Chain A
């Protein structure tokens, strides 16, 4: 499994001896084995020149840039190497056909909702009273079936999310980490800062995985395709936000690993400090590498791999081989 590299230090990333080297400001040199890297996340101030970018592109490495506050600035998405005109046509066909598009969009919502339910039920079994939220989400999932437009489905998705997040206050039950309501750009409290950071990471993991398939990240189904950015990764991320992100958040908080002093107030919002970001990324890396037994493939698969498998399922759906079923946690 190829590795992910997170760079927090300031410095310069260069090509050297057909491999990569990172030179920190104080002159330390770290050689990075280029053949073993899938993607690089840049949180520090890093200089890169064309030579390095050309090399990264040649080695099919995706680079994600984050700004000072941990917001995703953009990604260096190298020249496509898995070109398939056929797949793009199929992908577009499923977007343009309203019935097909709604089908896929609803599947994403369903997958996300079912995974959220798994989390709520897990904590419900452990003595947190989440019955109201569970019943409400189950009702909404059933209601989703009646609608045949993406806008309606989106509205239901919003309600599911809201109900789901209400459960967070019951699960965490801490004065220092109150959820209250979802706030973005800027996140108004610590939980929201964590959720935002976690989501932006998952978007990028999904983007890196899409790069390894024939799919075009610009054509999304739940999130309307527009002229600006990648959307398919946002769709896929919906399914994995609870599975990978929220579980990491909740376990870090319950174990008391992330503390209030890992956050700071800035620009009328709350952000993770570098210490907090590092702790979170470390936990995230562990989670992504953790393996589970895949019931259909009958072998151990890492969470990271699950994202790619999800994309393969989509490809199969597009070429009419097998209808798409979203991944739902087994336990």
Chain B
């Protein structure tokens, strides 16, 4: 499954969110991640996120799930900050 994740969390929890998401997904822009992920790993990731965020302080995380990328098109203006990671 392919997901796009973005978050808006309190300053104190930003670094933690960044580190957590980096384990599972690829960084695209500040507080935006995307990438292939298995259902099990998404479950793990959402659990880890739920441990970090504090909704009472206005934190919010949004995940878009795609079963396939077939009906999507990725358009980039300016610089694409996402690296090609298969071939470094």
Sample of 10 further A-B pairs with CB below 8 A, known A34-B23, A36-B25: A1-B38, A2-B38, A3-B85, A4-B86, A7-B88, A17-B19, A18-B19, A24-B88, A33-B26, A278-B87
Contact of A6 among B44, B45, B87 (CB under 8 A): B87
Q: List 7 A-B contacts (CB under 8 A).
A: A6-B88, A17-B19, A19-B19, A30-B88, A33-B24, A35-B37, A35-B44
Whether a CB of chain B sits under 8 angstroms from the CB of A281 is yes
CB atoms of B24 and A36 under 8 A apart: yes
- A3-33 vs B, Cβ < 8 Å mask (1 yes, 0 no): 1111111000000011100101000001111
Judging by beta carbons under 8 Å apart, are B24 and A285 in contact?
no
Give Cα distance in the complex from A119 to B6, angstroms: 47
Q: Is A282 on the interface with B (CB-CB < 8 A)?
A: yes
Number of interface residues of A (CB under 8 A): 25
- Which of B26, B44, B87 is the one whose CB lies under 8 Å from A281? B87
Contact A36 B86 (CB under 8 A): no
Q: Mark B41-74, 1 if CB is under 8 A from A, else 0.
A: 1001100000000000000000000000000000
- CB atoms of B87 and A35 under 8 A apart: no
- Number of B residues with CB within 8 Å of any CB on chain A: 19
Residues facing B in A279-305 (CB within 8 A) are 281-282, 285
Q: Is B35 an interface residue (CB 8 A)?
A: yes
B27 touching A36 by the CB < 8 A rule? no
Asked whether, in the complex, the Cβ of A35 is within 8 Å of the Cβ of B85, the reply is no
> Do the beta carbons of B41 and A36 come within 8 Å of each other?
yes
Chain A binding surface, main DSSP class: mixed
Q: Are A36 and B37 in contact (CB under 8 A)?
A: yes
Is A19 a contact of B85 with CB atoms below 8 Å? no
Partner of B36, one of A1, A31, A282: A1
- Is B13 at the interface (CB under 8 A from chain A)? no
Provide the main secondary structure of the chain B interface.
mixed
Is A22 a contact of B88 with CB atoms below 8 Å? yes
CB distance from A28 to the nearest CB of B (A): 9
Q: Chain A contacts of B88 at CB under 8 A?
A: 5-9, 22, 24, 30
Chain B's closest residue to A37 (CB) is B85
Q: Shortest beta-carbon distance, B24 to chain A, in Å?
A: 5
Whether the pair B41, A5 counts as a contact (CB closer than 8 A) is no
| Distance in angstroms between the alpha carbons of A204 and B25 in the assembled complex | 25
Q: Distance (Å) between the CB of A37 and the closest chain B CB? A: 9
Say yes or no: A8 contacts B36, CB within 8 Å: no
Quote the shortest CB–CB distance from A262 to chain B (angstroms): 15
Closest to B19 in A: A17
**In the complex, what residues of A have CB within 8 A of residue B23's CB?**
17-19, 33-35
A5 CB to nearest B CB, Å: 6
Cβ contacts under 8 Å, A285 to chain B: 86
Neighbouring A residues of B35 by C-beta, 8 Å: 33, 36
Return the chain B residue nearest A277 by Cβ.
Answer: B87
User: Does B11 interact with chain A (Cβ within 8 Å)?
Assistant: no
User: Are B86 and A17 closer than 8 Å at their CB atoms?
Assistant: no
C-alpha spacing A34/B26, complex, angstroms = 10
Closest A residue, CB atoms, query B16: A17
What's the Cα separation between A19 and B16 when bound, in Å? 13
B83: Cβ under 8 A from any A Cβ: yes
Question: B41 contacts which chain A residues (CB < 8 A)?
Answer: 35-36
* Most chain B beta carbons < 10 A, residue from A1, A8, A32: A32
